[in-house]
Amino acid sequence: MSSNMSVVTLLTLTLLAAMFRSSSAHQASSSIGPQGEASNGGAADPAFPWSHLRLPSYIVPVHYELRLHPNLTELRLSGSVRVQVEVKNDTNWVVLHSKALNISNAMLREREKKSNNPTEQSIILLGPGLTLAVSLQFGAELTEGFYGFYKSSYKTGAGETRVLASTHFEPTSARKAFPCFDEPSFKANYTVTIRRSPEHIALSNMPIEKTVRLNEDLMEDHFATSVKMSTYLVAFVICDFRSVSATTSSGVKVSIYAAPEKLHQTHYALEVAVKTLDFYEKYFNINYPLPKQDLIAIPDFESGAMENWGLTTYRETSLLYDPRSSSAQDKLWVTMVIAHELAHQWFGNLVTMVWWNDIWLNEGFARYMEYIAVEATYPELHVEEYLLNVCFAAVGRDSLNSSRPISSAAENPTQIREMFDTVSYDKGACVLHMLRHFLTDEVFQSGIVRYLRKFSYGNAQNQDLWDSLANTCSEEDFTSGKFCYNDRQASKNYLFAGEHLNLTAMMNTWTLQKGVPLVTVTREGSRLLLKQERFLKAVLPSDPVWATLQQGYLWHIPLTFKTSSSRTVHRHLMVTKTDSVDVGDQASWVKVNTDMAGYYLVHYEGRGWDQLTQLLRENHTALSYHDRTHLIHNAFQLIVLPADLTETIYSVGAQDERGWEFLLHAYTASPSETHKHKILSAMGSSRDKNKLSRLLEMALEGEVIRNQDLSTLVYLVARNPHGQQLAWAFFKKNWGFLVQKFQLSSFCIRSLMVGTTAWFSSAEELSDMRSFFQSIEEQASQLRATQVALDNVQKNVLWMEMNLGPLRDWLNRHIH
């Protein structure tokens, strides 16, 4: 607490002490009771009267005035923030988030103050309806790493290093850049002012209203006040980048920013961004609410991209496209990532989940809207193949017992960061795809428009989505009886295949329990007998735990099927463990899960598989591409897109000394990040263990190979049979550094934990993993990825035990 601050009452002392105190307890959250009572029954520290991970709900930020001066020479940040807050309950203090910030001064301005001149005292009345202005001055270092307000750099063609500063706040790192109420439900307006040197530009969520020259070496940019948004969407970048711009049909200015020498790689992204924003405005029937949308390629960036409102940030490989060197796969990736981040401008930014347990409402929707948008705007990219891969990835993860429900408890920052995974993104998208086909495109679209309109600039949870999707019955529909059958049920029931459905009950089986169902079908005359159970890869029915792992699992499965005797897609809702449907006596074959729209696997007992195999031999076009793919790869993931020829050629060249060194030089010199990835992949395929070790060390140093690519490189080495043990040893040896650099539950750490062991398949390797995880138990026990890695290798061991012998015998018979 600063010595020059005048403190007049105990109430004010408590309030300011709370603002100054920054502890790890405020990096996470848990539920709180009314009036701030502890839900866990714990007593508060008298010196710091708030003992919970979640902030009190009755102190609400309304507006931030944020002034920042990031010094790119000294790599330091100084700033001030003035937060207008509303106090809704009686309280003695205000508490907010701060991490790694040096708060040097704090002031409190109030509207309700009484003075007593004889005693020379003042009292601030903190009660319901009071509006306060909390002002703080702070400083910090521009951090190493990829979260908060951090330093990045790039080299020019002449070899000069240029420094920039950028932000990445999601999920809980805004508190590392300025004191704030760093939870998604605390939406507020932001007025940002940034000081910079004349050779740099400053970007934030909103456009610049005016620029003031303070002296020859210092400029000050004043940005327009933002719309209401969550802290994790606030963004600023200070750099020397250049841009290209265009305007959407509704007048939104779209700009793509990149390092000056890479500006020629921004034109495709500009085309995609304009076309995609136009599509979303029509599809959602809601105009993009900001006057501009900037997209910027950051040289150091851990994830693929970030949806900051009005200033989306990207890895260079996710935004830049060079027609001379980029592949068709690179083009698809750039298109999909841009579509994903722009979908977030509605799903996530305009409407935000109440808490991180429902992050899938952001990420699942954005993942699925990628598919819808690109399918509509770039049909030549054949994005339907991409969606298949997404769903196969989801099934692969969800078939392990270490999976989790789509909506899962997440209280502290470690748990929150782990929510950004295959389940939230890919399973979320695939469940939405199933729901869209179940409700029809028109009903699905009108429902999500209703959802976005109702909760604009606010927060929502699962039930709000189900209510919005189900509430499609107009008065005419009700009168005709086509959909709803009474007023009370009108908001939650559909008429589907002649059956009234409760959408909430159905969708809860997909979002509140983990796993993927396996539907076994058996033909008996005109009836198709159905049985559902939980599909598990790493456990057999003969295993003693099988019954326990099946207990309590039941899905409401919207089954679809085709038969040889009808072109109609038949529908049936399966809500019990066993069921049956009539398919007629004439059908020679039945294909369940039409076009793989449903998130479930199918096994055909009896002659079902033989009938479908014979059908494909005689006329493979009798089934759609999706149906054929579903049959062939029902329990396996399919990589549909062809391998890039350049990478194959490089991989051959990387096998000798001169070729490998040439590739290393080419990697260093290449201005294209997508080209660099192909080279890195090829170098990682070397059979020379010394070369592989050299790669790993270079990635650790972060000079030639950026730290952001470390997890990718380790994965590339681990998938190489000559590098599996090298990668695992590297991971174990450098665990402490990796956690310090990337944060415990970051995507990088989780990828390394699962990726380095993905090809292990022996009991000895599994035992070694358990020993290592035991040695880091305090950290490993916090990560769901630990059990995912173990489950994955257990699955591999089981497969080897069951199949290696028969496979070897088969090969010996057929080869010799």
Please give the helix or strand (H or E) that residue 499 lies within, else none.
strand 499-502
Q: How far apart are the first and last CA of the chain?
A: 82
Residue 524 appears among annotated catalytic residues:
no
Three-state SS at 259: coil
Token reading at 29: 């959250």
**Whole-number Å distance between alpha carbons of 340 and 368:** 8
Q: Where are the beta strands (DSSP E) in 590-725?
A: 590-592, 601-604
Query: Helices 267-284 and 360-377 meet at what angle, rounded to 10?
Result: 110
Sign of CA dihedral 672, 673, 676, 677: negative
Among 197, 196, 161, 192, which residue's Cα sits nearest to residue 177? 192
Cβ–Cβ < 8 Å for 509, 554 = yes
Active-site position among 341, 370, 418, 533: 341
Q: Please tell me whether 363 is known to bind a ligand.
A: yes
Three-state SS at 456: coil
**Whole-number Å distance between alpha carbons of 456 and 187:** 11
Q: Please tell me whether 120 is known to bind a ligand.
A: no
List of residues 6+ apart from 446 with CB closer than 8 A? 472
List of residues 6+ apart from 753 with CB closer than 8 A? 731, 783, 785, 786, 788, 789
**Whole-number Å distance between alpha carbons of 200 and 128:** 45
**Whole-number Å distance between alpha carbons of 283 and 731:** 46
Q: Where are the beta strands (DSSP E) in 503-608?
A: 517-524, 527-534, 557-563, 566-574, 578-582, 590-592, 601-604
Among 604, 607, 584, which residue's Cα sits nearest to residue 592? 604
Sign of CA dihedral 224, 229, 234, 240: negative
In the DSSP assignment, the letter for residue 703 is: S
Give DSSP secondary structure letters for 290-301.
SSEEEEEEESS-
**Whole-number Å distance between alpha carbons of 728 and 709:** 17
CA 202 from centroid of its chain's CA atoms: 27
The b-or-e profile of 681-715 (16+ CB within 10 A means b, else e) is bbbbbbeeeebbbebbebbbeeeebbbbbbbbbbb
Which residue has 């000895």 as its token pair?
764
Cβ–Cβ < 8 Å for 612, 631 = yes
Cβ–Cβ < 8 Å for 314, 260 = no
List of residues 6+ apart from 808 with CB closer than 8 A? none
Q: Please tell me whether 264 is known to bind a ligand.
A: no
> Catalytic residue positions?
341
Indicate the annotated binding residues for Zn(2+): 340, 344, 363
